[in-house]
């Protein structure tokens, strides 16, 4: 699978993901999306002189520390359109299913499969021709 990586740590993280069971991938893969979404939002607000202000907004207990809130901010500030917004919400739902539903074992679990099949952007913009549906095509084996 081809990914554009930000640094060596991110490359190592993605390499490790390929060896993990689906449940772990479903929980952790969204971390990169969350991080990149936060970076994009911060980039739009880079002219704020008080860096502590942004840190307080985005820390884990801050008002923008939640992935779902970041998704809404990105859409509300026109960073992306409705398709991306819907896909991001699906990713959040998939992550939450893996985190909170004992029966959500892998990407073939009916509820998870149904959600991932609703993703639009992986088919429109595959990471590479051979990767198919990107991270959701990964398996533990």
Report the predicted TM-score, pTM, of the whole model to 2 decimal places. Answer: 0.81
State percent of the chain over pLDDT 70: 87
Whole-number pLDDT of residue 126: 76
Q: Note whether residue 139 is domain-resident.
A: no
Q: Note whether residue 93 is domain-resident.
A: yes
Residues in the chain: 141
Q: How does pLDDT run across 43-95, given as a tens digit for each residue? A: 888 777 777 888 888 998 899 999 999 999 999 999 999 999 999 999 999 99
136 band by pLDDT with thresholds 50, 70 and 90: very low
CATH of the domain at 76: 1.20.120.330
Domain that holds residue 70: 22-126
Q: Note whether residue 131 is domain-resident.
A: no
Task: Provide the number of structural domains found in the chain.
Answer: 1
**Per-residue pLDDT for 4 more than 90?**
no
Whole-number pLDDT of residue 47: 72
């Amino acid at each position: 699978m081809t990914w554009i990586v930000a640094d060596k740590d991110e490359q190592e993280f993605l390499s490790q993901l390929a060896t993990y069971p689906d449940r772990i991938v479903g929980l952790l893969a969204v971390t990169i999306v969350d991080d990149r979404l936060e970076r994009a939002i911060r980039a739009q607000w880079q002219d704020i002189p008080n860096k502590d202000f942004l840190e307080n907004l985005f820390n884990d207990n801050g008002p923008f520390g939640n992935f779902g809130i970041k998704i809404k901010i990105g859409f509300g500030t026109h960073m992306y359109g409705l398709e991306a917004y819907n896909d991001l919400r699906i990713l959040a739902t998939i992550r939450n299913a893996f985190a909170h539903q004992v029966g959500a074992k892998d990407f073939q679990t009916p509820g998870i499969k149904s959600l991932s099949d609703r993703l639009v952007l992986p088919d429109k913009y595959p990471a590479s021709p051979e990767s198919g549906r990107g991270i959701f095509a990964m398996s533990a084996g």
